[in-house]
Structure 1
């Protein structure tokens, strides 16, 4: 594939704006990436534009779970659950090392809902939709061995089942990589100012380059908005709209709360489901679910009330660990784009997680949706687009991530080989070519290799330091103080590859550390 970095972007913007496109996708999260991928594989000329950075919004700040939506069964959303479990299985088979199985444990307590029988019945239906039995009940003594540290008062036993976990930002990058490999193009840092119309039909858009301030007109036969919580911004008023709901998370060092499974339980304050689970060598606690009233263009951040809520969840379920705010490595908050009819007084957790398509001539807007079902959402969007393009479209059922030839990686462990193959796919041979130069060492004991930073700086359209440390890699979440201690070594490796002057690096570092302090840390009073 051609080079994909800031220098390429600067030269390509005007050339890409001068083309005529079959499809332009607005939004660089998992939904937009999936639409671009499915359009590119069919030979459509297609371009994706993202106003900030790929996966900058919800798709780097999710709960990291690729799941079938067990909660949706209880609400009677059987089709959504069936689609989700089938797509989960596809992703597990196609992208091992990027999407991996995760064991979940639901502990059962005396007098609390759901009990073992009710929960076992839900899981039996869940397994039937997936086509395989995937759960087992553990009596008290066995559960104590499986899950030490759980609250013991009234504990009856626990049920274990399986879903999956991912690095959501890397999933977006992998999907974009497959789209680009099939001829699609993608640009970050291009904000859509307005849709261009001719006789009532959308015929393109006006975009502004965030780096230079230059504006470009792009022409397209169809425009798709896959902008998540921003879906209402460019469309006319309608009866349905997007209700932005914030979900926040805490990240703890694994040694402070070591868990080998994901633990699902009901929060004592409001009986909402909460999770504690292992991710990237650390432990995640999440999530909240409340209305997000702050401006969408500002970086979302956890509130003190949300932090207290999640710390209370730790104290409730793992009292012996005595987790406090001082134990928190980092936080993140994402805004979910939930479709709502505007009913007054409806709780955030009671809103449906179904998606919606809103159509006007020359334009399709996708609102809502789930990480797990991004492929199915893309196909639904493209069917709507195909009608506007006078084309037929069927589900080719082709793999989102085609199998790649095995690559020789003698300096890496089997686990490292699997991880890199899952994250980089067809780009793996080019990444491995950097190993001779950079080596195979890990960054500060994390699972991330230094070569991944070098690769991202050269080949993954990094415009700012937070792109590199919060999305291309997750070091800003996983290392203390946003990886502040590693910044001199990161600079030595990446500055020249990014093409930044000393002045530019100093400015980027200052801006990044301030962003991390404000939006990804937990402020602790001394």
Structure 2
């Protein structure tokens, strides 16, 4: 594995891609594509992954950050999805501590409300049975006032408590990709697949365009896997039926001090009875999510609407009335588009929240497309895709249950607290020794009030394929979300550290900062509020 996975490596690698016939080309650098290429590379397949923009650019950096079983899927009868999800949740907790962390969830109950404590307790018993462990309980109103000061008290009966998990979704993608590279996969961003090549009634490769330099190439592969999420229908045959229903979920990020919560809270919004979450993440507080049809151009980043902002602020007022949260309190926003496979009449009749989150495979000779799916179940989804690919190749493929992540070797980093070590080990895995070297050179200072170390910025610039400034500030780190105004006050210091490592001249740095500011204002600030 090349140590410096960066723009210079990319420039040297791109012209050589056409020199090979790949066993597998994966299109899409989100969690689904990452999972597929990781499982294939581990088995010795010659793999290439191509990402149009940046890794985790789409849904996989804009999710609700939850690794969970989907409690509400039980009520919809989606037993297999819930079972697979809770099993994968536990696998990720075991394999990636510090990146995937357990989180206590609390659902308060009020007089006359549904579901009440008994119904919720029954659902949680089923949830725990599918997971194979008991992880729930009940706190009465007096206990809950102590555990959750500021919670709405009028009619409060108590709260049901259960355990799920949270992650940094973009960092999860990066760590899976790093594991694939360690097993020999070639992984490139900034490359657009313009068309599939078909010969003799079979997909035989792809035509690509370099999004940075403009060069075009034709690449050959034995089989192709398309994992482009909400964009999955774009490379299908022209006569294929349209089945995807893109659904937008938007979120608010508040300073942790403004709405301090020690655990996640889930409750039903009084407007539409949809579940809403308020939870701690990266030292801040997340409020989300919405669930509505996304009818805008998928080539542009999804953004929160003024109606969604009002909906989420109303949720804060409903459950934490004393906090008096308003638009001025919001640090940043993000919106992601869920790649949901719609029901037959879904686009016309069903509410978005009624659609299944199950995935499906679309196949044609030489190509398997994954549609739908969940962050939590990326590994079994990848196994299913590769089984279908293997059948096309005339070979067998099975789930051997091997770990997704290599074990992190114990390493002493002087000065790091136990919690800091756990955090960096979870995010960087096998790259921890190089990060430790940078910590020795740059020190242990964090960027502002965030938990992000300056050394992590340096490492990302050297070895995590940064093509643009937003790659660094919105996905390799989350500073653009966590710091006021997208981190504007820290840009001079970031420039001093990062510009030499990125080999950008002053003109390029100026262009990138202007691009980043414009992008942040458009996609992560408050929407224009309608009167």
Q: Name the TM-score, length of structure 2 as normaliser.
A: 0.98
SS for the counterpart of 1:402 is: coil
Aligned partners of 1:54 and 1:173 also within 8 Å = yes
Give, in whole Å, the separation in 1 of the partners of 2:139 and 2:189: 48
Comparing 452-461 and 407-416, the one that deviates more: 407-416
Aligned partners of 2:305 and 2:527 also within 8 Å = no
SS for the counterpart of 1:308 is: helix
Q: What is residue 483 of structure 1 aligned with on the other side?
A: 487
Q: Check if 1:292 corresponds to 2:310.
A: no
SS for the counterpart of 1:159 is: strand
Aligned partners of 1:240 and 1:339 also within 8 Å = no
Q: What is residue 113 of structure 1 aligned with on the other side?
A: 114
Q: How far 1:402 moved relative to its partner? A: 2.0
- Which aligned pairs between 1:492-507 and structure 2 lie closer than 5 A? 492-507=496-511
Q: What is residue 258 of structure 2 aligned with on the other side?
A: 256
Q: Check if 1:444 corresponds to 2:445.
A: no
Residue of structure 1 aligned with 2:428, choices 424, 427, 430: 424
Q: What is residue 376 of structure 1 aligned with on the other side?
A: 380
Q: How far 1:239 moved relative to its partner? A: 4.2
Give, in whole Å, the separation in 2 of the partners of 1:59 and 1:469: 15
Give, in whole Å, the separation in 1 of the partners of 2:440 and 2:351: 55
Q: What is residue 97 of structure 2 aligned with on the other side?
A: 96
Q: Which runs of 5+ in 1 are unaligned?
A: none
Q: Which runs of 5+ in 2 are unaligned?
A: none
Give, in whole Å, the separation in 1 of the partners of 2:7 and 2:443: 25
Give, in whole Å, the separation in 2 of the partners of 1:240 and 1:121: 38
Give, in whole Å, the separation in 2 of the partners of 1:150 and 1:191: 48
Aligned partners of 1:30 and 1:172 also within 8 Å = yes
Residue of structure 1 aligned with 2:419, choices 408, 415, 419: 415
Give, in whole Å, the separation in 2 of the partners of 1:361 and 1:397: 28
Aligned partners of 2:233 and 2:242 also within 8 Å = no
Q: How far 1:341 moved relative to its partner? A: 3.5
Aligned partners of 2:343 and 2:355 also within 8 Å = no
Q: What is residue 330 of structure 2 aligned with on the other side?
A: 328
SS for the counterpart of 2:296 is: coil
Give, in whole Å, the separation in 2 of the partners of 1:510 and 1:234: 33
Aligned partners of 1:5 and 1:460 also within 8 Å = yes
Give, in whole Å, the separation in 2 of the partners of 1:216 and 1:475: 35
Moved over 2 A (4+): 236-240, 523-526
- Residue by residue over 1:186-212, the C-alpha shift from the partner in whole angstroms, topping out at 9 and shown as x without a partner, is 110001100000011000000111101
Give, in whole Å, the separation in 2 of the partners of 1:404 and 1:423: 11
Q: What is residue 321 of structure 2 aligned with on the other side?
A: 319
Q: What is residue 200 of structure 2 aligned with on the other side?
A: 199
Give, in whole Å, the separation in 2 of the partners of 1:400 and 1:426: 12
Give, in whole Å, the separation in 2 of the partners of 1:207 and 1:523: 35
Give, in whole Å, the separation in 2 of the partners of 1:19 and 1:373: 31
Q: Check if 1:64 corresponds to 2:68.
A: no
Give, in whole Å, the separation in 1 of the partners of 2:145 and 2:287: 21
- Which aligned pairs between 1:250-399 and structure 2 lie closer than 5 A? 250-343=252-345, 344-399=348-403
Q: How far 1:404 moved relative to its partner? A: 2.1
Q: How far 1:403 moved relative to its partner? A: 1.0
Aligned partners of 2:269 and 2:275 also within 8 Å = yes
